[in-house]
Amino acid sequence: MASESQQKCARVLSIVAFEDIREPDWSSINSIVSTSAKCATKRLTLVLVNHVFVARSEARASLFPYVQLYVTTITSPAQTSVESAAVAVDVLLFGWSDLQLSAYTWDQVYSNSPSRVKEIIGDAPYSQVEPISRVTPSTNTDQVCANEVTMNVVSVNGTFDHLHIGHKTLVLLAAWLATKTLICAVSAVSPSDPSHKKLHQLSESFERRQCAVRQFIEGFQTFKRRPFELKVVPRKDYGPQVSERELDAIVLSTESMHHGDIVNRLRAEANLPPVKVFVVDAVQAAGSIFSYSRAQKLTTRMSSSLVRESLNKRSLKFILLNGFAGVGKFTIASQLASCLVSAGLEARVVHNHLQADLADAVCPNKAPTYQTFRRQLRNLVFEAIRTDQHIPPGTTFVFTGNFSQSMVGQTAAQEYETAALCCNASFIPITIHCSIEELERRIVSKSRFEVSSRKLLDPARGGEIAAQKVLYTFEHPQALSLEVSSMSAEQAAELIAQHIKNVHQKSDI
């Protein structure tokens, strides 16, 4: 157990050194891995140290079953112990001779060999864990390596949406195996295309996924100083695995291991030599059950869907549509909510006439207490959202308002931003404009009568207000301004939905 009370830290480093890769002490390893994982709130970096990780290239094919079992068996309890799938977990492989970590900083370091680690990375906030075993460096791998063969060119395929520890383990082991070239083929089809995927609207673009894979592998190359060539390419179907003549091996997950036979059949049909197939065990997800008995993994495997679920649960979303009467706020808000619901998200419209009609029914519009009453009604709504445990995590609330640059308008508009902060919600303000001529035309549309009997229905008055007043505009990094004179409500809603998605993706970089 840790020698001091656990503290939550953003960046945690866990260095696990061991002697025998064939018979590790799994229960002891769990002590350091799970303890460090429970402390990490943003990123956990696992550094595994053993002489086999720097074995000569010819020995790695024979060592692969041991290495992949060890890596996946350690990364699984790490992932199951972190507080959510959104916590990034990295894994790196070293021998003591090439352990280079001094250029990086962590908030907390865990190690079963702290004195030796301290010599390498210097001063750091250490939490010593009971030693796993007596760590004795060795260079003898001959007992493990029955057949020696070099894997010069290795390929790994994947969608790699929200690159997680399962992906990283797969790619890392492929990189460890490759001697000359690693081909990482990223699906060119966006995972957001098939609507049956859960929360597919939170999927990443091809460019983002390709960049994440490249950065991870280049980081591995930097750490390991490995000279292999890296190719990150788009793919359809099986990609380079069935077209690259010089390919020696492919690395698959247990979920896709049946692809090995298909790949070699297609290669035979194309008169290409067969490839050796290496299989990597699945990594378990946060919150699932893990057993070290014969390194058997149980329950839920780590997946991109779980990451998307975790991202969706991070916070609520407040979308505020601000525009003058008649611009089409309610219609756009309704279309936006429908768009989000169709994409698998929870969305609710809270339009300004819900509170305005109640306020007008109770308190005369010109009364001195009217604005105070409106503020009290807004605060009741905000407090209900903040405290109601039945509101699904990740729900998007679409508010509408008619806020000008007047003191009353500014104060009311800013209450939404403050409420978002109190509710741990992301805040995205949308300002909606249209020409006075179009606004006057929209004011008399029949659909306005259906929402509220107290709506402004005088086109001349509506145009006069729009001409004399200035809409309040948020100075906010996530703000969007839309000119909707020539847009339908559906078009405006689609643009706003895309903006929401872009904001969400940028916030997770």
Q: One-letter amino acid identity for 64?
A: F
Q: How many helices (H) and strands (E) does the chain have?
A: 15, 15
Average pLDDT, the chain: 77
| CA–CA distance, 407 with 467 (Å, rounded to integer) | 18
User: Is the model more confident about 214 or about 465?
Assistant: 214
Q: Per mean pLDDT, which of 97-111, 199-213, 227-241, 448-462 is the most reliable?
A: 227-241
In residues, how long is the chain?
509
Categorize the per-residue pLDDT at 448 as very low, low, confident or very high, splitting at 50, 70 and 90.
low
DSSP 133-148: S--------TTT-SS-
Categorize the per-residue pLDDT at 190 as very low, low, confident or very high, splitting at 50, 70 and 90.
low
**CATH code at 315-507:** 3.40.50.300
Q: What is the pLDDT of residue 261?
A: 93
Categorize the per-residue pLDDT at 198 as very low, low, confident or very high, splitting at 50, 70 and 90.
low
| CA–CA distance, 434 with 95 (Å, rounded to integer) | 65
Q: φ, ψ for residue 117 (rounded to 5)?
A: -65, -40
Q: Which residues neighbour 495 within 8 Å (Cβ) at sequence distance 6 or greater?
A: 480, 482, 487
Q: Which residues neighbour 134 within 8 Å (Cβ) at sequence distance 6 or greater?
A: 19
| CA–CA distance, 175 with 184 (Å, rounded to integer) | 9
Q: Which of 275-279, 294-298, 408-412, 445-449 has the lowest mean pLDDT?
A: 294-298
| CA–CA distance, 141 with 154 (Å, rounded to integer) | 22
The residue assigned the tokens 């109640």 is: 358
Kindly state the average pLDDT of the residues 231-257.
90
Categorize the per-residue pLDDT at 308 as very low, low, confident or very high, splitting at 50, 70 and 90.
low
| CA–CA distance, 437 with 442 (Å, rounded to integer) | 9
> Does 279 score more than 80 pLDDT?
yes
Categorize the per-residue pLDDT at 105 as very low, low, confident or very high, splitting at 50, 70 and 90.
low
Q: What is the pLDDT of residue 64?
A: 87
Q: What is the pLDDT of residue 393?
A: 74
Kindly state the average pLDDT of the residues 314-319.
80
Q: What is the pLDDT of residue 493?
A: 94
Percent of the chain residues topping a pLDDT of 70: 71
What is 151-283's CATH superfamily? Answer: HUPs (3.40.50.620)
Q: What is the pLDDT of residue 140?
A: 44
| Whether the predicted model's global pTM rises above the 0.95 cut | no
User: Is the model more confident about 493 or about 40?
Assistant: 493
CA atoms within 13 A on the CB side of 247: 27
**CATH code at 1-146:** 3.40.50
Q: Do 509 and 471 touch, CB atoms closer than 8 A?
A: no
For residue 229, the tally of other CB atoms under 10 A from its CB is: 11
End-to-end CA distance of the chain: 34
For residue 413, the tally of other CB atoms under 10 A from its CB is: 21
Q: Which of 202-216, 303-317, 491-505 has the lowest mean pLDDT?
A: 303-317
Look at residues 455, 501, 448, 451 and name the one whose alpha carbon lies nearest to residue 478: 501
- Helix boundaries (H) for 259-328: 259-269, 304-312
Q: Per mean pLDDT, which of 119-128, 191-200, 489-498 is the most reliable?
A: 489-498
Kindly state the average pLDDT of the residues 182-193.
76
Enumerate the domain spans of the chain.
1-146, 151-283, 315-507
Q: What is the pLDDT of residue 3?
A: 40
Categorize the per-residue pLDDT at 470 as very low, low, confident or very high, splitting at 50, 70 and 90.
confident
| CA–CA distance, 91 with 84 (Å, rounded to integer) | 17
Burial (CB < 10 A; 0-12, 13-18, 19+), residue 244, is buried
Categorize the per-residue pLDDT at 42 as very low, low, confident or very high, splitting at 50, 70 and 90.
confident
User: Is the model more confident about 31 or about 485?
Assistant: 485
Categorize the per-residue pLDDT at 138 as very low, low, confident or very high, splitting at 50, 70 and 90.
very low
Categorize the per-residue pLDDT at 354 as very low, low, confident or very high, splitting at 50, 70 and 90.
confident
> Does 496 score more than 90 pLDDT?
yes
Categorize the per-residue pLDDT at 126 as very low, low, confident or very high, splitting at 50, 70 and 90.
very low
| CA–CA distance, 317 with 425 (Å, rounded to integer) | 5
Q: What is the pLDDT of residue 396?
A: 93
Q: Do 201 and 342 touch, CB atoms closer than 8 A?
A: no
Q: What is the pLDDT of residue 130?
A: 38
Measure the CA angle with vertex 144, ends 140 and 149; round to 5°.
100
Q: Per mean pLDDT, which of 71-85, 125-139, 281-295, 379-393 is the most reliable?
A: 379-393
The CA-based diameter of the chain, rounded to the nearest angstrom, is 91
Categorize the per-residue pLDDT at 139 as very low, low, confident or very high, splitting at 50, 70 and 90.
very low
In the chain, helix, strand, coil percent, each to 5?
45, 20, 35
Kindly state the average pLDDT of the residues 420-429.
84
Measure the CA angle with vertex 211, ends 312 and 218; round to 5°.
120
Categorize the per-residue pLDDT at 197 as very low, low, confident or very high, splitting at 50, 70 and 90.
low
Q: What is the pLDDT of residue 120?
A: 63
Categorize the per-residue pLDDT at 142 as very low, low, confident or very high, splitting at 50, 70 and 90.
very low
Categorize the per-residue pLDDT at 248 as very low, low, confident or very high, splitting at 50, 70 and 90.
very high
Structure tokens at 423: 């509710």
Q: What is the pLDDT of residue 10?
A: 79
| CA–CA distance, 205 with 29 (Å, rounded to integer) | 37
| CA–CA distance, 242 with 273 (Å, rounded to integer) | 10
Categorize the per-residue pLDDT at 21 as very low, low, confident or very high, splitting at 50, 70 and 90.
low
| CA–CA distance, 495 with 188 (Å, rounded to integer) | 24
Q: What is the pLDDT of residue 301?
A: 58
12 DSSP β-pair partners:
44, 108
Q: What is the pLDDT of residue 486?
A: 92
- Helix boundaries (H) for 82-150: 114-121
